[in-house]
């Protein structure tokens, strides 16, 4: 009888246990309990994305539900219904939310705001503005039911020829990190996440899935990781995206030294790492490295995790660490909180944000005899196909399905300026022809990719002479496009095409003969060659790819409604080959011999299969300033419609570095903003250092004529440090540091001195060694 009673009780208790397990649902306080309740199959599913049907076909669901709740979103995490774990949604978006603009069964569009590209935001040098742009973009992320925006892109402009430079910020890691951190903070104010990318050293698009970027430990630390470090520590992004490429012989997605030792152990990152969108690789190695989420997701990846845990090739501890981080991410998301998204973002309000922010990022490169702002004129001869077909943003995952794009013709018209009718008709007819030609030759349509620009149209000298007589000024827009999966070429891309140069020559000859001005607008995401032609026009405005309000933003500057305050965050060289990195970039791959790949029995193609970063830390202005190499426009350069004086400067030691300040005064006749860049030259001896390095920057508020502002800067001894491979430490030598306050890297307006009485050192791990010789 006793045995019977005990058995009944045991059965009842076991039933209660099962019932409690069945009722267990995820919440912010029971992550460990959920983890213990999960089966191996469920854990494996959570580490593999659920492919969104409307993005890339197929659905990787193995457990639970991952229906395409946001058509066109880049990817999903998988849900586990029995444990109350919902799927979450990931969307592309460095320049705005990228989702499908049309939906089956709905007649209304699902557009998102096309914001300025990364280069445009960076050249504002205004972290508060960038944060406000991020906040507006994050509102659309939230309103469209997305949990994480796959942005910002923040790789270094190692070469001006990288195809995705338009998404990125700068050749300098400090600017990159500060801008990215501000962008992340702005987006995440909405309770949604970001994924900073592409981690790390994704320096070229040619063979981006497999190229081995071979970099010294010093250059990796100082140039390619420093921006990510700043963004992680100051922005606290929810996620990091590991890049496609290899770094010093190891795929970054499988590199534990990168994803765990550096990112988590040294920098304190506590979010999740997801792969860039790639097929199946060594999934077990990715999990062991600390790559928590495989995107876009394949059932075979879950199967591999299960099989390798059972075989002992992958530890369950590694799996559990990744699963725990994903659960901790999920409980923060709007979808987990049950947020009722509207799918009706404030597009009109965000268009205004775009218009203002784009204008602040534009850089006035030349303004001879105060050609700009345009005054006392009404009629404009508007040249260049891009004037009528403006480029709002780049192609690929950086593309946004915008509600409209304001071209320059429309922008001028909105400001009350008349574009000469016959020239307008000529260009619009050419645009119609090119669009019809493109459509007739199109094999397929992909809303995700965007469209390349049309070739420039030849214009006869007779037509130009006629325009010079009837118009008050000529405006010529030079357009360039960029996108993922390919790099730019020097001929007919970095350099002007023969048609563009001929048109510019003829325009300047004809209009100058009539005593009239020529203005060039550069509508491009990255650097182009300017040295050979910049003396021809009277003014040059670098508009970047400024988003959907581009034509209005450009016009605001042309007519003086806005005063340009953008400054370059990258060097404009005389020639693309002046960059030392150009010797080790895909455009020159055929000019150098290959190198055997050990055990492969074949020759690897240099700059395609592997790329040697032989320039080390000599990237951008660090090289040009140290070598004394002439440039077309230096890092930090940008003109204004007013002038500024730099007054009293001061440098005072602090507990862990120094504090600096300088007084800036608007000495001109119109209101404007000034960017002050703080460069530091290190004492001699010890490690070889660049002539000077950017260590801080600040931008004034809008100063009225005669008004002053004191700008302040904080620089730590750690920020001054260089990486010494011999001792695997960050080191700041003791001695006198010259602190330079500059309007650009070549225009230093004031100097002070900071004395470090004792050497600063900070030890780190001996990791990320090159896999082959850099010689």
For the annotated catalytic residues, the residue numbers are: 276
Helices 550-558 and 347-361: crossing angle in degrees, nearest 10, is 50
Question: Burial letters for 96-118: b for 16+ Cβ neighbours within 10 Å, e otherwise?
Answer: bbbbbbebeeeeeebbbbbbbbb
Q: Residue 518's beta-bridge partner residues? A: 474
CA-to-CA dists, residue 525 to 65, 156, 166, 363, angstroms = 39, 14, 4, 13
CB 364 within 8 A of CB 529: no
CB 516 within 8 A of CB 470: no
Say which residues have a Cβ less than 8 Å from residue 414's Cβ, sequence separation at least 6.
Answer: 406, 551, 552, 555
3-class state of residue 583 by DSSP? helix
- Tell me the residue ranges of DSSP E strands in 395-544: 418-419, 473-479, 517-523, 539-542
Q: What are phi and psi of 249, to 5 degrees?
A: 95, -15
Please classify residue 655 by burial: count the beta carbons closer than 10 Å to its beta carbon, then call 0-12 exposed, 13-18 middle and 19+ buried.
Answer: exposed
Say which residues have a Cβ less than 8 Å from residue 198's Cβ, sequence separation at least 6.
Answer: 153, 155, 241, 242, 243, 244, 276
CB 183 within 8 A of CB 134: yes
CA 322 – CA 288 distance, rounded (Å): 9
Both tokens of residue 461? 């000298």
271: which DSSP letter?
S
CB 500 within 8 A of CB 454: no
Say which residues have a Cβ less than 8 Å from residue 454's Cβ, sequence separation at least 6.
Answer: 385, 389, 430, 431, 434, 438
CA 541 – CA 547 distance, rounded (Å): 16
For the beta carbon of residue 30, count every other beta carbon within 10 angstroms: 17
CA 719 – CA 529 distance, rounded (Å): 33
CA 491 – CA 65 distance, rounded (Å): 50
């Amino acid at each position: 009888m006793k045995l019977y009673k005990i058995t009944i009780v045991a059965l009842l208790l076991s039933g209660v246990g099962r019932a409690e397990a069945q009722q267990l649902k995820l919440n912010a306080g029971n992550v460990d309990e959920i983890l213990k309740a999960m089966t191996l199959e469920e854990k494996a599913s959570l580490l593999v994305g659920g492919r969104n049907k409307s993005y890339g076909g197929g659905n990787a669901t193995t457990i639970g539900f991952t229906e395409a709740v946001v058509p066109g979103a880049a990817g999903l995490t998988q849900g586990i219904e029995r444990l109350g774990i919902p799927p979450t949604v990931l969307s592309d978006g460095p320049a705005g939310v990228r989702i499908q603009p049309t939906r089956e069964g709905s007649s209304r569009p699902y557009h998102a705001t096309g914001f300025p590209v990364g280069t445009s935001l960076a050249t504002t040098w205004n972290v508060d503005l960038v944060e406000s742009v991020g906040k507006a973009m994050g509102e659309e992320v939230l309103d469209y039911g997305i949990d994480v925006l796959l942005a910002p892109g923040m790789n270094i402009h190692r070469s001006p020829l990288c195809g995705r430079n338009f998404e990125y910020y700068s050749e300098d890691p400090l600017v990159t990190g500060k801008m990215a951190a501000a962008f992340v903070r702005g987006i995440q104010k909405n309770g949604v996440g970001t994924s900073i990318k592409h981690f790390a050293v994704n320096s070229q698009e040619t063979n981006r899935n497999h190229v081995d970027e071979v970099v010294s430990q010093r250059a990796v630390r100082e140039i390619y990781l420093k921006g990510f470090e700043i963004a992680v520590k100051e922005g606290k992004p929810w996620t990091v995206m590991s890049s496609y490429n290899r770094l010093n012989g190891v795929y970054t997605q499988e590199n534990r030294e990168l994803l765990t030792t550096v990112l988590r152990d040294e920098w304190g990152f506590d979010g999740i790492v997801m792969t860039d969108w790639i097929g199946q690789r060594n999934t077990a190695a990715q999990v062991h490295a600390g790559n928590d989420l495989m995107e876009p997701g394949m059932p075979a990846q879950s199967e591999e995790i299960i099989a390798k845990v059972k075989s002992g090739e992958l530890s369950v501890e590694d799996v559990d660490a990744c699963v725990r981080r994903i659960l901790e991410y999920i409980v923060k998301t709007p979808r987990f909180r049950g947020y009722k998204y509207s799918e009706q973002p404030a597009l009109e309000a965000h268009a205004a944000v775009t218009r203002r922010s784009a204008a602040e990022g534009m850089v006035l490169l030349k303004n001879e005899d105060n050609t700009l702002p345009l005054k006392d004129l009404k009629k404009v001869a508007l040249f260049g196909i891009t004037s009528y077909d403006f480029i709002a943003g780049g192609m690929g995952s950086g593309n946004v399905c915008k509600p409209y794009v304001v071209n320059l013709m429309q922008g001028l018209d909105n400001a009350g300026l008349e574009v000469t009718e016959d020239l307008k008709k000529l260009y619009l007819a050419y645009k119609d022809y090119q669009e019809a030609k493109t459509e007739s030759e199109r094999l397929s349509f992909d809303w995700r990719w965007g469209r390349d620009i049309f070739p420039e149209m030849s214009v006869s000298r007779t037509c130009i002479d006629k325009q010079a007589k009837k118009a008050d000024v000529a405006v010529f827009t030079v357009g360039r496009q960029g996108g993922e999966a390919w790099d730019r070429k020097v001929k007919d891309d970095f350099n002007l095409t023969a048609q563009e140069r001929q048109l510019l020559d003829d325009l300047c000859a004809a209009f100058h003969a009539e005593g009239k001005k020529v203005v060039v607008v550069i509508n491009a995401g990255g650097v182009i060659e300017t040295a050979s032609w910049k003396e021809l026009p009277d003014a040059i405005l670098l508009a970047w790819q400024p988003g959907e309000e581009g034509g209005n933003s450009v016009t605001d500057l042309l007519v003086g409604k806005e005063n340009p305050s953008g400054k370059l965050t990258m060097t404009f060289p005389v020639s693309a080959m002046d960059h030392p990195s150009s010797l080790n970039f895909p455009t020159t791959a055929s000019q150098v011999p290959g190198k055997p790949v050990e055990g492969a029995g074949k020759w690897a193609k240099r700059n395609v299969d592997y790329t040697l970063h032989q320039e080390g830390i000599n990237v951008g202005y660090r090289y040009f300033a140290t070598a004394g190499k002439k440039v077309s426009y230096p890092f930090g350069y940008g003109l204004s419609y007013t002038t500024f004086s730099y007054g009293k400067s001061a440098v005072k030691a602090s507990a862990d570095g120094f504090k600096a300040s300088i007084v800036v005064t608007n000495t001109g006749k119109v209101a404007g903003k000034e960017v002050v860049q703080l460069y530091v030259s290190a004492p001699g001896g010890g490690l070889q250092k660049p002539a000077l390095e950017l260590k801080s920057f600040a931008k004034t508020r809008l100063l009225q004529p005669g008004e002053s502002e004191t700008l302040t800067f904080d620089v730590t001894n750690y920020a001054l440090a260089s990486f010494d491979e011999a001792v695997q430490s960050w080191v700041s030598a003791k001695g006198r540091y010259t602190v330079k306050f500059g309007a650009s890297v070549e225009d230093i307006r004031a100097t002070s001195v900071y004395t470090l009485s004792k050497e600063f050192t900070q030890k780190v791990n001996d990791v990320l060694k090159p896999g082959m010789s850099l010689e």
